[in-house]
Amino acid sequence: MRVTHALAFAAALLSTAPAAALAMYGSVGSFEVTGGPQPPGSVVAIDVDSGGSVTGSTLVGQVLDPGGLSGMVFAGTDLIYGTTRDGFGTLSSLRAVALSPGTDSISLVTDLGVISDGTFDLAFSDLAIQPGSGTLFGISTDDSAGCNNCLYTIDPGAGGGPLATLVGAPPVVKGGGLGFAPDGALYLALTWPTVSGSDPQFDIVTLDPTDASELTRMAVVRDVPLVVPGRGTFTSIRLDGLAVDEDGTVFGTGGGGATEVYELLSNGKWGIAGDGAANLTDLAFRPVPEPGGALLLALIGLRLRRRSSG
């Protein structure tokens, strides 16, 4: 059995383990923020204080060097799928990142290969896993071959490398962060302004995961406008990364070297949850297992190590 099959086995078992609150993690892009402590292409744990504010990030491990991660998602308590990206025009390979059970350290990184639809090699902005079905979804970049800015399902364990199947083309110019809510709502952040000008407006939409048609749309409006001396006042945010917690609260990252983490507030506007101190391209939430799942996680880790060395 290939390592990819062992990882798929791990994801299936881990998804059945009992879980409590979710912890926030982030992926780091292909360049380091000036003064930022986290290296490109790494996974970080987002530091959150008792009041729910983001206070920084802690390095979990570097997944690739050179290059960066454009998106990530937890496929189980200790298994991450991440897409690689090293600038405009580059392809995306899929990395399977196994974490040591119960820790914030990487035990195994497997390159599953470039994501292809069988005809074209593709590039992806972000990943999301559908609740219930466990299906892995991805949104392709605006410079991808095949169908760009399109929604795909991805089979990570297909023979010959990860295989993408087209779901549909959302009616958007450029998509960024992708994330499922616990109720199955699929969010997509748009990185091309709906309204251009000195204060451009960016939107977030929900999509039908069966055909990628748009269901709802709303503007991403700052709770407190950003005033930049010499440049003006900005009331909207371009979200590059996206994730939804267990309560259905949507979080996002600004990308492009931005280090802030944003949160959709109850008033429908976006506030700053804090500074992640890294070039955060995406966010993901890790289920925290209950004590009864510890033995299961240890057995899965042993199985992965045996398969990778065999």
With a pLDDT cut of 90, the percent of the chain lying above it is: 52
pLDDT digit string, tens, across residues 159-171 = 788 999 999 998 8
Burial of 193 (0-12, 13-18, 19+ CB in 10 A): middle
Mean pLDDT (whole number) for 276-281: 88
Per-residue DSSP letters for the chain? Answer: --HHHHHHHHHHHHTTS-EEEEEEEEEE-SSPPTT--SPTTEEEEEEE-TTS-EEEEEEEEE--SSSEEEEEEEEETTEEEEEEE-STT---EEEEEEEPTTSSSEEEEEEEEE-B-SSSB--EEEEEE-TTT--EEEEE-TT-SSSTT-EEEEETT-TTS-EEEEEE--S-S-EEEEEE-TTS-EEEEE-S-SB-SSS-B-EEEEE-TTT--EEEEEE-EEEEEEEETTTEEEEE----EEEE-TT--EEEE--TT--EEEEE-TTSSEEEEEE-SS-EEEEEEEEEEPGGGHHHHHHHHHHHHHHHH-
Domain of 56, in residue numbers: 3-309
Only one residue has tokens 């000195």, namely: 198
pLDDT digit string, tens, across residues 30-85 = 765 545 678 888 999 999 998 889 999 999 999 988 888 989 999 999 999 999 87
Residues in the chain: 310
The pLDDT score that the predictor gives to residue 88 is 55
216 has a pLDDT exceeding 70: yes
- The mean pLDDT of the chain is 83
Q: HSE-up of 120 (CA within 13 Å, CB side)?
A: 14
277 has a pLDDT exceeding 90: no
Which tokens is 54 given? 């983001």
What is the domain-level CATH number for residue 62? 2.120.10
Lowest mean pLDDT segment, chosen from 73-82, 145-154, 194-203, 298-307: 298-307
Our count of domains for the chain comes to 1
pTM: 0.84
